[in-house]
Amino acid sequence: MSMNEHDIKGLVEEVREGKLPRRSFIQQMVSVGLTAPMASMMLMHYGVANAQTAIPYKPTKRGGGGTLKLIYWQAAVHLNPHYAGGTKDQDASRIFYEPLAGWDTDGNLVPFLAAEVPTRANGGLSADGKSVTWKLKRGVTWHDGKPFTADDVIFTAQYAGDPAAAMTTVNVYKDIKVTKVDSHTVKIDFPKPTPFWAEPFVGSVGLVLPKHVFEGFMGAKSRENPANLKPVGTGPYKVIDFKPGDILRAGANTAYHIPNQPFFDALEVKGGGDATSAARAVLQTAEYDVGWNLAVEDIILKQLEGSGKGKMSFYAGSDIEFITLNVTDPWNEVDGERASVKSKHPAFQDKAVRDAMNLLIDRRSIAEVIYGRGAIATSNFLNNPPRFRSPNTKIEPLNIERANQILETAGWKKGADGIRAKGNVKLKFVYQTSVSGPRQKCQAIIKDACSKAGIDLELKSVVAAVFFGSDFANPDTYQKNWTDIQMFTTTMTQPDPQTFMEQYTSWELAQKANKWASRNLSRWTSKEYDDAHKAAQVELDPAKRAALFIKMNDLVVADGHIIPLFARPRPVGTVNKLVTTISAWDNLTSFMNYWYREA
């Protein structure tokens, strides 16, 4: 079965007029190759009301659930969501702060601080795609008892959009205009037609801050605010104690704006250690209730599940484990800056070296043998929703012989030490990632293959709290990327790839001038890519917009500085009888107000 744009628009109108149930539309879209999240997003693009699916929740009163204990083997170091460069800090911030709406597992918007999701039908979405009006929930208070109003929403956009503050979310807010319609209504005006209007104030980049707590710490003073460690939010829990890099304790917000929530009286988030120990603490000993990102060899996870105390769940989104071959020179300074965008990597500027590296990685074996259920080998950087997945790339199998031929032909000759060189440049690289059992095994496998092609890799493992940390003075953070090769996972926290794919735009280059807070860590750029991203930002036709993102993916993959390894379904461990609501399109903690324990 096939369907053209005219057919789709006809069905959309039937949904809008109530002639066709929303679920029937979604089923038809799935039959032609879309996913349920993308079908929902398509309806949103055409301004059709987003169905509010009830999230299961049985408790009939607030509290009484005791303490909920989570273990994060990467510990949070601050609680300001707008300069949270790592998932651990985003998740921790989400416990206390809320957006106007979040993304459920099917890619639907669920209101938090909004009274409803904007649609064409309720007057929230403009026909030209240039504005959205949000009605805010009334009766919501901050943790200190002050009321939540439109002023807080307007302030958050000013705060996060100030370039002097160097927030990770600056590009979401810097070009929009937010005005107050009344005390509990705001209008967002975009400078151009915006198909993905559900980005500001939504999901992980949309957490609203209290004006009265943050307004004294604007711009360059933003990192001096005590609230960065002592949050004052609207969320289901209030901070009790926070030791950066170690432990976070919170208590139930007894004035929370959703009735009968939260179920748990207290919350404890323990950080540090390693993924295997975290998995054991949940699945084998049940010392903790939830284990975040249990990126552990699957054979070990299955053994731990055998204890019968907990289980693993894998939530498929578009997270990707990948390797970056540095575009810039990390070992020499230009104008006082290492890995300056003004420099070129002495070896990786040669496409032959990048092509050879791509052939020296056995993706399928690494994914199947080490990660099992937690990895899907891929040649694409953008993998989900399927509408955005490119059919134009392929996984190159391990081919050491071909890699040697490419390097030899390109003039990279083996010396007496077996390492290839051309002129005074040797193929000798530092390969960096975080401390993680599977990642170290992956490094070792790639190092062995490279050695057979005359490439010498020095393996470097950085403690996760440092690697994914926000210490701008530390040379080993992944934001600085002061190494030749780097490997990590990047997460996609929305069922739309606009923000996700922005990490390869020229305006997102991480450098000293922005305190390395921007998201283009590889420093790879392309004018063609920039142009495609800019076009996608204003393209209202869903099919044409999807084609633009596929083009972006293909540009990144073909160039070879970015080497996708495998898609990473999010691995979460939970003890038996704990009922969770978790979405791969949002933070792990996004819907924890709905979590409860069965008797």
Sequence-distant (≥ 6) Cβ neighbours of residue 205 within 8 angstroms: 169, 172, 199, 493, 499
State the average pLDDT over residues 593-599: 96
Q: Give the C-alpha separation, 332 to 321, whole Å.
A: 28
The answer to whether 566 touches 582, Cβ cutoff 8 Å, is no
Do β-strands 290-291 and 67-72 pair in parallel, antiparallel, or remain unpaired? parallel
Per-residue pLDDT band for 232 (boundaries 50, 70, 90) equals very high
Structure tokens of 295?
A: 């990126």
If asked whether residues 57 and 69 sit together in one domain, one would say: no
pLDDT at residue 42, as a whole number: 66
What is the tens place of the pLDDT at every residue in 42-70?
676 565 655 556 788 999 999 999 999 99
Say how many CA atoms lie within 13 Å of 527 toward its Cβ: 0
The total number of residues shown for the chain amounts to 599
For residue 368, the 8-state DSSP code is I
Q: Are residues 289 and 339 in the same domain?
A: no
pLDDT at 329: 97
Whether this model's pTM surpasses 0.85? no
Mean pLDDT across the stretch 153-179?
A: 95
Q: Which residue has the higher pLDDT, 494 or 71?
A: 71
User: For residue 493, what pLDDT is reported?
Assistant: 84
The confidence score (pLDDT) of residue 256 equals 98
Check pLDDT > 80 for residue 23. Answer: no
What does DSSP assign to residue 114?
Answer: B
Residue 155: helix, strand or coil by DSSP? helix
Backbone angles phi, psi at 310, to 5 degrees: -160, 175
What is the SS3 assignment for 17-66?
Answer: CCCCCHHHHHHHHHHCCCCHHHHHHHHHHCCCCCCCCCCCCCCCCCCCCC
Q: What is the pLDDT of residue 1?
A: 43
CATH at 300: 3.40.190.10
Do 454 and 428 lie in a common domain?
yes
- Same domain, residue pair 362 and 408: yes
Name the pLDDT band for 14 (thresholds 50, 70, 90).
Answer: confident
Do 307 and 405 sit in the same domain of this protein? no
Lowest-pLDDT range, 73-77, 135-139, 240-244? 73-77
Number of structural domains found in the chain: 4
> Distance between CA atoms of 228 and 502, rounded to whole angstroms?
26
Question: Furthest-apart CA pair in the chain: how many Å?
Answer: 76
Give the model confidence (pLDDT) of 505-530 as tens digits: 999 998 988 888 888 999 999 999 99
Rounded to the nearest 5°, which phi and psi values hold at 267? -135, 140
483 and 592 housed in the same domain = no
Task: Indicate whether 117 and 195 sit together in one domain.
Answer: yes
- Tokens, residue 107: 């890619």
Range of the domain at 178: 108-223
Q: What is the pLDDT of residue 180?
A: 98
For 274-289, the pLDDT digits (tens) are 999 999 999 999 999 9
Query: Which ranges in 539-597 belong to alpha helices (H)?
Result: 542-559
- Say how far apart CA 222 and CA 232 lie, in whole Å: 15
Provide the pairing of β-strand 420-422 with 425-426.
Answer: antiparallel
Q: What is the pLDDT of residues 83-93, one digit of tens each?
A: 887 789 999 99
Give yes or no: residues 372 and 475 share one domain. yes
Q: How far is CA 361 from CA 241, 380, 453, in A?
A: 44, 15, 12
The amino acid occupying position 242 is F
Closest CA to 195 of 512, 528, 490, 533: 533
Is the domain of 398 the same as that of 415?
A: yes
Dist CA 240 CA 252 (whole Å): 10
**Pairwise CA distance, residues 471 & 478, whole Å:** 11
CA distance 192 to 190: 5
Residue 516 in any domain: the answer is no
pLDDT at 521: 93
DSSP symbols for 169-205:
THHHHTT-EEEEEETTEEEEE-SS--S--S-TTBGGG
Average pLDDT over residues 562-587: 95
**Which of 230-244, 427-441, 506-520 is predicted least confidently?**
506-520
Q: Identify whether 14 is part of a domain.
A: yes
The pLDDT value given to residue 28: 72
Residue 109 amino acid letter = L
Find all residues with CB under 8 Å of 163, minimum gap 6, and list them: 170, 174, 514
Flag whether 508 is in a domain: no
Let me know whether 395 and 481 are in one domain.
Answer: yes
Q: Is 59 found in the same domain as 195?
A: no
Closest listed residue to residue 379, CA positions, set 337, 448, 320, 336: 320
Helix (H) or strand (E) holding 290: strand 290-291
Q: If we measure between CA atoms, which residue out of 235, 103, 76 comes closest to residue 586?
A: 103
Shared domain for 433 and 299, answered yes or no, is no
